[in-house]
Structure 1
Amino acid sequence: MTSTSVFVSGANGYVAQHVVKQLLAKGYSVVGSVRSVAKGDQLKATINNDKFTYEIVPSLTDKEAFGEALKKHPEVTVFLHTASPVNFSPEDIENDTIKPAIEGTVNALNAIKEHGPQIKRVVITSSGVTMWGFGPYFDESKVYNEDDWNPITYEEGLSNAWFGYFASKKYAELAANDFVAKEKPNFDLSIVHPTFVFGPQAYGIQDKSSLNHSSELINSVVKLGKDDKIPEEGSVFIDVRDVARAHLVAFESDAAIGQRLLLGAEDWTKDLIADIINRQSSKLKRLFTSMTTQELEKFLGLISNPLKILSMISLNNSIMLK
């Protein structure tokens, strides 16, 4: 067990909640930032751990927001910056996706330098897309590694929502590197680069109206009709719990200082997801036929929410929703 206190920005995010859960399990105290009191109270009630507290950071582009939060917590010695917009239908790509990612990263680093001199380790959540791109930005003959950069330009990032996301991750990371090179802060920086992230929710979902992007991807396959064509789509995935573990390794291990940690486990395609859904459906059918009427009624009551049905779908024990 440890007395170290860790600040997690965007603490109610899909990946961030797993990070918080693993930090608490290892005995760390956690201060999480959220955008509103309502979100903070909801998250605190869900986590239900006295070692978790929260601060309000309503906007990533507010230069003083993280500073005010850090002033209240001189005990924090590690900062994990997981907050960044993931929006594939923005009204304004530059102002809703790219600028908040860049400015949010720089504002967090500035706040640490000015108001958190005791903070020695900083970890930023980025994405594998900073190293390669999709479509015209992907070279299938090339072996990509941590030395590579997506060639997308800032201007190209303004052309559509997906390219905006690629640009937001790339230019936020470049801004972080530039900050460290120019400001020479007190802290060491590591950056985590997950590929597609699949896996269970860390805690129960309060707002079931929408899922995170990776989970919605699986949900889109679930919703296909028997005559619908399965879209040709695939990439590399990593389990969300491994992404969270990587954040802990990034600040616990000196070997991670200054490193880009690229995370990937196996390939996925929508065909493969559909195949798994079919196999799991067959298992459910066999389960139903073995149940008494009372057992079946009880079971159907438990899975009346579609999210709970999706929790039974797994890809190598990695694609699961709760």
Structure 2
Amino acid sequence: MEAINSKVQQVLQGNHTLKSSGKGKTVLITGGSGFVAAHCLNAFLSRGYNVKTTVRSQSSAEKIKKSHAKYIAQLSFAVVPDVATPGGHDEAVKGVDGVIHTASPYLVNVDNNERDLLNPAINGTTSVLTSIQQHAPNIKRVVITSSFASIVDMDKNPRPGYTYTEKDWNPVTYATAANPSTPGVIAYLASKTLAEKAAWDFVEKNRPNFSVTTICPPMVYGPAYHTISSLDHLNTSSAEIYELINGSKKEVPPTGFFAFVDGRDVGEAHARAYETPEAGGQRYFCTAGGYTYQQICDIIREDFPEKRDLVPEGNAGEPYPDVYKVDNSKIKKDLGMAFRDLKTCIHDQVAEFIEIEQKTKA
């Protein structure tokens, strides 16, 4: 690890990227049209890997070809309409050297918690792992996108004085999450928690030839690497930021989760977790630190004066609240990660929104 960290210090000054050559190797990335998955695609493709990615339809594949056009020769696709279907990944896992499993629903407004959130997340994870074990014995590393949702205890929120690490687990139960009266956001948190636990249980029970690493990002912001067909149909976290500059929010929203990370860093973390031998069997809290929506509004109002009148002012410059803290020391130490700060993350995301607006008007 010392050699890795030394290399990081040399290369990581401005671009946060430590690239190795994946030439000749192929990884499977599930759910390639997603926000996080697109960043994972970029991290691996830019390293020279061939990437096979699963999509629900051919139309999704065409969008990925457009967003990652410079890497088209390294891309291939497998259509998997339903991630939770047993055996659905049997063919997709063949002929690849490793798997990055990102596919999981990110929804909070659902009709049925069990059907729409719990089953797809949990069964999707175990289905992929089963396919690997049965049809791809050469695969040695699987990296799974989990979430801060599987770490945070919302019953104790905002938990002043506490510091969250990889050792923490969200205590929510399946029974609670499946209850029709349970809010969708709690069921979503549970879906990520129970899916990650299912992965670790799978490894313990089946003792497969591969090792698993989980990456747990909190709120993921920053510019998109997937095709944005319309600003009216953004992924959930991006939509929350866009609503701060399009006039639809008149007040600064309350901050629900006091931790963030830039999507570009999440993609990088997945690649490093895949390439680092010592990362096998490890869980990583992938966060840049704490934030509030007030801080985000302050950044936008300062950096984009043309949007100032549309962005809620709130209590500009207010002190950071007395809430839990987050510890990213493990991922920095083991994987040599460095993280973009909130100002860089939000500035680049809003600049992208403005560019899209201008293209749309033109």
TM-score of the superposed pair, with normalisation by structure 1: 0.85
Query: Are 1:26 and 2:47 counterparts?
Result: yes
Query: Are 1:64 and 2:48 counterparts?
Result: no
Query: Are 1:93 and 2:113 counterparts?
Result: yes
Between stretches 93-102 and 276-285, larger displacement belongs to 276-285
Q: Give the Cα–Cα distance (whole angstroms) in 2 for the partners of residues 239 and 100 of structure 1.
A: 25
- For the residue of structure 1 that corresponds to 2:290, the secondary structure is strand
Deviations 1:155-195 (A, max 9, x none): 22231111111110111011111111111111011000001
Q: Give the Cα–Cα distance (whole angstroms) in 1 for the partners of residues 248 and 122 of structure 2.
A: 40
Aligned positions of 1:37-186 closer than 5 A: 37-48=58-69, 49-70=72-93, 73-74=94-95, 76-136=96-156, 139-158=159-178, 159-186=182-209
Change (3 A) 1:62 1:229: same
Q: Give the Cα–Cα distance (whole angstroms) in 2 for the partners of residues 217 and 267 of structure 1.
A: 17
Task: Give the Å deviation of 1:212.
Answer: 1.3
Deviations 1:30-77 (A, max 9, x none): 00000011111221233221110110010022101101322xx42x01
Query: Are 1:4 and 2:31 counterparts?
Result: no
Match of 2:233 in 1: 210
Q: Give the Cα–Cα distance (whole angstroms) in 1 for the partners of residues 230 and 57 of structure 2.
A: 15
- For the residue of structure 2 that corresponds to 1:190, the secondary structure is strand
- Whether the 8 Å CA contact 2:98–2:141 is kept in 1: the answer is yes
Between stretches 58-67 and 135-144, larger displacement belongs to 135-144
Aligned length in residues? 290
C-alpha RMSD of matched pairs (Å): 1.9
Query: Are 1:231 and 2:257 counterparts?
Result: no
1:316 aligned to which of 335, 340, 343 = 343
Change (3 A) 1:205 1:174: same
Deviations 1:96-145 (A, max 9, x none): 00111000000000000001111111000000121113354553332221
Match of 1:13 in 2: 34
Gaps of 5+ in 2: 1-20, 309-340, 353-362
Change (3 A) 1:238 1:155: same
Q: Give the Cα–Cα distance (whole angstroms) in 1 for the partners of residues 90 and 105 of structure 2.
A: 20
- For the residue of structure 2 that corresponds to 1:152, the secondary structure is coil
Q: Give the Cα–Cα distance (whole angstroms) in 2 for the partners of residues 183 and 259 of structure 1.
A: 17
- Whether the 8 Å CA contact 1:122–1:251 is kept in 2: the answer is yes
Q: Give the Cα–Cα distance (whole angstroms) in 2 for the partners of residues 284 and 153 of structure 1.
A: 43
- For the residue of structure 2 that corresponds to 1:222, the secondary structure is coil
- Whether the 8 Å CA contact 2:219–2:260 is kept in 1: the answer is yes
Percentage identity across paired residues of the two chains = 35
Letter in 2 for 1:183: N
Between stretches 139-148 and 244-253, larger displacement belongs to 139-148
Match of 1:292 in 2: none
- For the residue of structure 1 that corresponds to 2:52, the secondary structure is strand
Match of 2:271 in 1: 248
Q: Give the Cα–Cα distance (whole angstroms) in 2 for the partners of residues 217 and 127 of structure 1.
A: 18
Task: Give the Å deviation of 1:206.
Answer: 2.5
Q: Give the Cα–Cα distance (whole angstroms) in 1 for the partners of residues 189 and 102 of structure 2.
A: 16
Letter in 2 for 1:109: L
- Whether the 8 Å CA contact 2:51–2:74 is kept in 1: the answer is yes
Change (3 A) 1:144 1:266: closer
Change (3 A) 1:250 1:225: closer
Q: Give the Cα–Cα distance (whole angstroms) in 1 for the partners of residues 62 and 246 of structure 2.
A: 33
- Whether the 8 Å CA contact 2:33–2:226 is kept in 1: the answer is no
2:303 aligned to which of 280, 289, 312 = 280
TM-score of the superposed pair, with normalisation by structure 2: 0.76
Q: Give the Cα–Cα distance (whole angstroms) in 1 for the partners of residues 156 and 45 of structure 2.
A: 42
